[in-house]
Structure 1
Amino acid sequence: MSEKEGARGIKLHFDFHFHSCLSPCGDEAMTPATIAGMCKLSGLDAAALTDHNTCGNCAAFCQAAEAYGLLALPGMELCTREEVHIVCVFPDLERAGAFQEEVYRSLGEARNDPAIFGRQLYLDADDRVLGEEPRLLAGATAIGVYEVPALVERYGGAAWPAHIDRSSFSLLSNLGLWDPGLGFSLAEVSRNCPPDFVSGRRDLRGVPTITGCDAHYLEQISDAGQVMEVPARSREAVLAWLRRGGA
């Protein structure tokens, strides 16, 4: 395993941004079990499944991940009212499911057109199709970005803005700047983020960042490259590390 004992605790290689075939833009080869296996092959110790506006395949992912010895967190990539993407992760499936129900209530009535967006597939841990989600999961919810940190915390989770370096669906592209009043403890940048992007912006000074592969296709799952050090190999330890801004 790539997991190692450090001076202060356990070192975990991690990535918390993956999409399964339940996301309308996710390839159908991105089954929960296959993602878990690829994460293991890539050297990851901890990962989260974060489909658009849903946690519906997280149970299958967590079950498959356990078989591979991977620490898995149920999660979601929430699209806010401002069309800002926020990664949200939770300590257990029950609270992730409760958060999902709140998101579904705010998602609106638009229906998915598989001919345009692709099928939105629910699978089990053995890659059996359980059904399709009729809602269009790619849309914006009615949840405002300033509401997200407290809302996710109410369900025991942690949240951070996704791919802030991108020109669409990011906090900086849609709001223009990083506002400390938002209450996020860290931010995510993409794998292709320019090395001087964070240091070159005055509003990002002092903002910790992590990298998310945001994989929608199997070939986008990258080798482990970032490490956290936590006192225990547990979801709660990982969430505490994230809430502290990666400290």
Structure 2
Amino acid sequence: MTPGVVARKLSEKGVDWIAITDHNSTMNARSFGVRLKREGIRVIPGIEVHSSDDVHVLGYFFDLDSAESFSGWLYKKIPDVSVDPEVFGYQIYVNEEDQFTGIEEKWLGQPVSLNTSQVIDALKDAGALAVYAHIDRSMGVVYQLGGLGEDSFPADIEVAFERNYETYSDCRRYFVWHSSDSHSPNTLAPAMKIRCESRTLQKLIEAVHSCDRERKTIIWG
């Protein structure tokens, strides 16, 4: 999943706007942003935080500096456990030319020392939009904890499966997101078609939060 490979795959699929949400880190977002911009693809810097409750929470940032600052802060909340690359793969850093620049030895796939509420509060304090990731499958808040707290509404949630969409289609209670959640080039694919004035995070939020379904069309895989 290097910038060049991702750029080619997205261009083939006709995708012109994505979010980069690596596990517990944003440290490759800059190189991906530079490379994809050359291809006319806009990148929203993001992160997928693994809470101590085993719940994944997405964070979308309005600018890269804020994303990297949050990532640096979060890094200190990740237990000092080394990754076994033979089991979990190598955690590498690359530049926009797909050149190897470093390796991360701390395991980024483990939970951080913050519970789900603390993760959401930290993301909001950093100026990010917090979204419950893939709520209806493993590591989702509904799957792991049995539901959303009543004080969570209205809630930004990511629904993984079309069969569950109608359950969460009330736009007064839920703002439904969908993504490819791709972990390999072959699974990169369009996930939402958004109608808005410009490709900015603010306009994306406005479209997803709108009750006008013509502004957001979910593309189910």
Question: Which residue is equivalent to 2:204?
Answer: 238
Return closer, same or farther for 1:101/1:230 CA change in 2, 3 Å cut-off. Answer: same
Segment of structure 1 superposing worse, 92-101 or 202-211: 202-211
Segment of structure 1 superposing worse, 142-151 or 211-220: 142-151
Return closer, same or farther for 1:239/1:101 CA change in 2, 3 Å cut-off. Answer: farther
The 1-side partners of 2:54 and 2:154 are apart by 17
The 2-side partners of 1:44 and 1:202 are apart by 25
The percent of aligned pairs where both chains have the same amino acid is: 25
The 2-side partners of 1:77 and 1:152 are apart by 11
The one-character-per-residue Cα deviations of 1:11-33 (angstroms, maximum 9, x if unpaired) are xxxxxxxxxxxxxxxxxxx1123
Question: Which residue is equivalent to 1:178?
Answer: 148
Q: Is this contact kept in 2: 1:198–1:205, CA < 8 A?
A: no
Q: Cα distance, 1:61 vs. partner?
A: 0.7
TM norm structure 1 = 0.77
Return closer, same or farther for 1:225/1:49 CA change in 2, 3 Å cut-off. Answer: closer
CA RMSD of aligned residues (A): 2.4
Q: Cα distance, 1:212 vs. partner?
A: 1.2
Segment of structure 1 superposing worse, 143-152 or 102-111: 143-152
The 1-side partners of 2:194 and 2:66 are apart by 24
Q: Secondary structure at the match of 2:65?
A: helix
Q: Cα distance, 1:213 vs. partner?
A: 0.9
Q: Cα distance, 1:86 vs. partner?
A: 1.1
Give the unaligned 5+ runs of structure 2. 213-221
Question: Which residue is equivalent to 2:182?
Answer: 215
Q: Cα distance, 1:239 vs. partner?
A: 4.5
Question: Which residue is equivalent to 2:158?
Answer: 188
TM norm structure 2 = 0.86
Question: Which residue is equivalent to 2:36?
Answer: 65
Greater relative contact order (Cα 8 A, min sep 6): structure 1 or 2? Answer: 1
Tell me which protein shows more helix as a share of its residues.
2
Question: Which residue is equivalent to 1:38?
Answer: 9
The 1-side partners of 2:57 and 2:133 are apart by 5
Question: Which residue is equivalent to 1:146?
Answer: 117
The 1-side partners of 2:38 and 2:168 are apart by 43
The 1-side partners of 2:117 and 2:170 are apart by 17
Give the unaligned 5+ runs of structure 1. 1-29
Selected match of 1:165 from 103, 128, 136: 136
